[in-house]
Structure 1
Amino acid sequence: MGKSQKKRAMRRHNPMRVPDSHLPKGLESIASSSKNEAILPIVQKMESPDGAERKWACVAVSNLIQNDPSTRRLLQGKNIVGSLITRLSDSEEEVWVEAAGALRNLCIDGGYDICAEMYNKNILAPLKTFVPKISAALSQFLESPKTAPENAQKVVYEFADNAITVLWCLSETSNKALNAINQINLVPFLMSFLASREKLPVSTVTAAAQCLYVLTDDNQPAIDDVRSNAAYTSCLLDVVRAEANVAEGKSKATLDERSSMCKVLTCGILGNVSPLPPPSATSAIDITKDVTLPLLQPVISSLSLVDVSNAVQELVGNQNSEPPQLEKLSLKNTPKTDHKTTTEVELERLESRLRTVQLALEILTGACAMLPDPVSEPAGEEEDVIDEAEYEDVEIGDSPEDAMALDSSTPNGNTDTRPTSLLPALVQPLLALIQPTALSFPPPSGASIHPPTTSALSAIHISALQCLNNIFLSLGASPNPELAADLESGRNVWQEVWSALGKVGIQIERGQERKQDMWEVAVGVLWGIGNIWKGSFPPTEEQVKVIIQFCEGSTDSTIRVKCIGTLECLAHHGPSIDANRTIASYLLSLLPTSSSQSPIGTEPLIQAVSALIDIYSDESAPYDVNFRQGKFEDRLADSVDGVKKAVRAIDRRKERDLRMRGEEVRDNLVAFVRYRRELQL
Structure 2
Amino acid sequence: MGKSQKKRSMRRHNPMRVPDSHLPQGLASASETSSKTQAILPIIQKMEGTDAVERKWACVAVSNLIQNDPSTRRLLQGKNVVGALITRLTDSEEEVVIEAMGALRNLCIDGGYDICAEMYNKSILVPLRTFVPKLSTTLSQYLDGPKNAPENAQKLVYEFSDNVITVLWCLSETSNKALTAINEMKLAPFLMSFLAAREKIPLGPVTAAAQCLYVLTDDNYPAIADIRADGGYIACLMSLLNPQDNGTTPESADPRTVTLRVLASGILRNVAPIPPPSAASAIDIDKEIVLPQLQPVIASISLADASASVLQLIEQQASSAPDIEQLSLKNTPKSDHKSPAEIELERLEARLRTVQLALEILTGACATLPDPDPDDEDGDEDIANENDDDAPEMDTDMEMAVDDVAGDTPAQALPPLVAPLLALVQPTTLSFPPLAAPSPHPPTTSALSAIHLAALECLNNIFLALARGGGAAPECGRARRVGRRTGLGQERRQAMWEVAAGVLWGVASVCRGALDPEPAQMQALMALCDGAGADAQLRVKCIGALECLAMNPGAAFVDANARIAEYLLSMLPGAANAKRRRRGDGADAAGGGVADRHLRDEGAPYDGNFRAGGSLRGSRRASTA
TM-score, structure 2 normalization: 0.88
- Give the deviation of 1:22 after TM superposition: 8.8
Structure 1 residues 118 and 138, CA gap change in structure 2 (3 angstroms): same
Change (3 A) 1:258 1:22: farther
Matched, 1:234 2:215: no
> SS in structure 2 opposite 1:337?
coil
Q: What is the DSSP-based 3-state SS (H/G/I as helix, E as strand, rest coil) of the residue aligned with 1:48?
A: coil
- Tell me the equivalent position of 2:163: 162
2:37 alignment partner in structure 1: 36
Q: Distance in 2 between matches of 1:327 and 1:591?
A: 68
Q: Using the alignment, how far apart are the partners of 2:439 and 2:371 within structure 1? A: 42
Q: In structure 2, what is the equivalent of residue 362 of structure 1?
A: 360
Question: What is the aligned partner in structure 2 of residue 440 from structure 1?
Answer: 431
Could you say if the C-alpha distance between residues 300 and 639 of structure 1 is closer, same or farther in structure 2, counting changes exceeding 3 Å? closer
Corresponding residue number in structure 2 for 1:466: 457
Q: CA deviation at 1:174?
A: 1.0
Query: Displacement of 1:620 after TM fit?
Result: 1.3
Aligned residue type for 2:354: T
| Aligned-pair CA distance for 1:246 | 4.9
Specify which of 612, 617, 624 is matched with residue 634 of structure 1.
617
**Do residues 570 (structure 1) and 549 (structure 2) align?**
yes
Q: What is the Cα deviation at residue 597 of structure 1?
A: 11
Say if 2:539 is the partner of 1:560.
Answer: yes
Secondary structure, counterpart of 2:173 in structure 1: helix
Q: Are the counterparts in 2 of residues 23 and 69 from structure 1 also a CA contact under 8 Å?
A: no
Structure 2 matches for 1:525-544, cutoff 5 A?
525-544=503-522
Question: Structure 1 residues 25, 640: CA separation in 2 closer, same or farther (over 3 Å shift)?
Answer: closer
* More divergent stretch after superposition (180-189 vs 628-637): 628-637
Q: Give the corresponding residue for 2:226.
A: 225
1:305-454 to structure 2, matched below 5 A, reads 305-331=303-329, 334-371=332-369, 419-454=410-445
Match in the other structure for 2:494: 516
Partners of 1:172 and 1:214 within 8 A in 2: yes
Alignment deviations for residues 481-523 of structure 1 (CA, whole Å, 9 cap, x no partner): xx25x7xx15x1xx31xx1x2xx33333443221111111111
Task: Compute the displacement of 1:284 (Å).
Answer: 0.3
The 5 Å alignment of 1:81-230 reads 81-148=82-149, 152-230=153-231
- DSSP 3-state at the match of 2:242: helix
Residue pair 2:143, 2:200 contacting (<8 A) in 1 also: yes
Match of 1:625 among 608, 615, 624: 608
Asked if structure 1 preserves the Cα contact closer than 8 Å seen for 2:575 and 2:581, the reply is no
Distance 2:31 2:313 in 1: 32
Superposed CA offset, 1:508-561 (max 9, x none)? 344322111111111111111111111222222121111111111134221111
1:393-413 per-position Cα deviation (integer Å, ceiling 9, x unaligned): xxxxxxxxxxxxxxxxxxxxx
Contact in 2 for aligned 1:591/1:597 (Cα 8 Å): no
CA contact (8 A) 2:18 2:443 kept: no
Q: CA deviation at 1:238?
A: 1.2
**2:400 matched residue in structure 1:** none
Q: More displaced, 439-448 or 235-244?
A: 235-244
Q: Which residue of 1 aligns with 2:595?
A: 613
Q: What CA distance in whole angstroms lies between the structure 2 residues aligned with 1:628 and 1:341?
A: 71
Q: Is the 8 A contact 2:546 2:564 kept in 1?
A: yes
Rounded to whole Å, the distance in 2 between the matches of 1:335 and 1:180 is 35
Secondary structure of the residue aligned to 1:217 is coil
Partner AA of 2:59 in structure 1: C
Contact map agreement 1:25 1:447 (CA 8 A) in 2: no
1:297 equivalent to 2:288? Answer no
The answer to whether structure 1 residue 479 and structure 2 residue 482 are counterparts is: no
- 1:670 is matched with none
Could you tell me which amino acid in structure 2 is paired with residue 473 of structure 1? L
Number of corresponding residues: 585
Distance 1:32 1:246 in 2: 49
Offset, 1:220: 0.8
Instruction: Give the CA deviation at 1:38.
Output: 2.2
Name the CA distance, whole Å, in 2 between partners of 1:333 and 1:157: 21
* 1:136-165, Cα deviation, whole Å (9 max, x unpaired): 111111112211377641333211110111
Cα contact 1:476–1:528 (8 A) shared by 2 = yes
Q: For residue 273 of structure 1, what is the amino acid of its counterpart? A: V
Aligned ranges 1:56-75 → 2 under 5 Å: 56-75=57-76
Q: Which residue of 1 aligns with 2:564?
A: 583
Offset of 1:610 from its aligned partner? Answer: 2.0
Q: Which residue of 2 aligns with 1:661?
A: none
Question: 2:619 corresponds to which letter in structure 1?
Answer: L
What displacement does 1:474 show? 1.2
Amino acid across the alignment from 1:19: V
**Distance in 2 separating the partners of 1:102 and 1:322:** 16
* 2:6 alignment partner in structure 1: 6
What are structure 2's unaligned runs of at least 5 residues?
375-407
Higher helix share: 1
Deviation digits for residues 352-386 of structure 1, max 9, x if unmatched?
11111111111111111123599x9xxxxxxxxxx
Verify the 8 A CA contact 2:101 2:163 in the aligned structure 1.
Answer: yes
Match of 2:47 in 1: 46
Contact 2:349 2:443 survives alignment (8 Å):
yes
Secondary structure of 2:64's counterpart equals helix
Note the aligned Cα RMSD (angstroms): 2.6
Give the aligned partner of residue 264 of structure 2: 266
- Aligned 8 A contact 1:444 1:510 in 2: no
Closer, same or farther: CA 436–89 of 1 in aligned 2, 3 Å? same
Per-residue CA distance 1:268-289 (angstroms, 9 max, x = gap)? 0001001111232221011111
Give the Å deviation of 1:322: 4.5
For the pair 1:17 / 2:16, whether they are aligned, the reply is yes
Letter in 1 for 2:465: S
Q: 1:431-459 CA deviation, whole Å, 9 max, x = no partner?
A: 11111111111111111111111111111
Distance in 2, matches of 1:31 and 1:373, equals 47
2-structure distance, mates of 1:151, 1:419: 56
Could you tell me which amino acid in structure 2 is paired with residue 537 of structure 1? L
SS at match of 1:336: coil
In 2: Cα distance, 1:603 partner to 1:281 partner:
50
CA contact (8 A) 1:213 1:265 kept: yes
Structure 2: which amino acid aligns with 1:161?
Answer: D
- Structure showing greater radius of gyration is 1
CA 419–154 in structure 1, closer or farther in 2 if over 3 Å, else same: farther
Is the aligned partner of 1:599 residue 2:581? yes
1:612: Cα distance to partner?
1.2
8 Å Cα contact 1:216-1:273 kept in structure 2? yes
Whether the 8 Å contact between 2:240 and 2:261 is mirrored in structure 1 is yes
Indicate the larger mover: 632-641 or 121-130: 632-641
**Alignment-derived partner of residue 388 in structure 1:** none
Q: 1:609 is aligned with what amino acid?
A: G
Q: Relative to structure 1, is the Cα distance of residues 44 and 142 closer, same or farther in structure 2, using a 3 angstrom cutoff?
A: same
1:602 CA displacement: 6.7
Following the alignment from structure 2 to structure 1, what is the Cα–Cα distance between the partners of residues 121 and 602? 64
CA contact (8 A) 1:182 1:221 kept: yes
What is the distance in 1 between the residues matched to 2:410 and 2:616?
42
Alpha-carbon separation, structure 2, partners of 1:336 and 1:317: 24
CA contact (8 A) 1:3 1:473 kept: yes
Q: What SS is found at the alignment partner of 1:199?
A: coil
Distance verdict in 2 for CA 1:512–1:152, change over 3 Å? same
C-alpha distance 552-317 of structure 1, shift in aligned 2 (>3 A)? same
Distance 1:434 1:597, change over 3 A: closer
Cα separation, partners in 2 of 1:2 and 1:155, compared to 1, 3 Å: same
| Structure 1 residue 586 displacement after superposition | 1.9
AA in 2 matched with 1:599: R
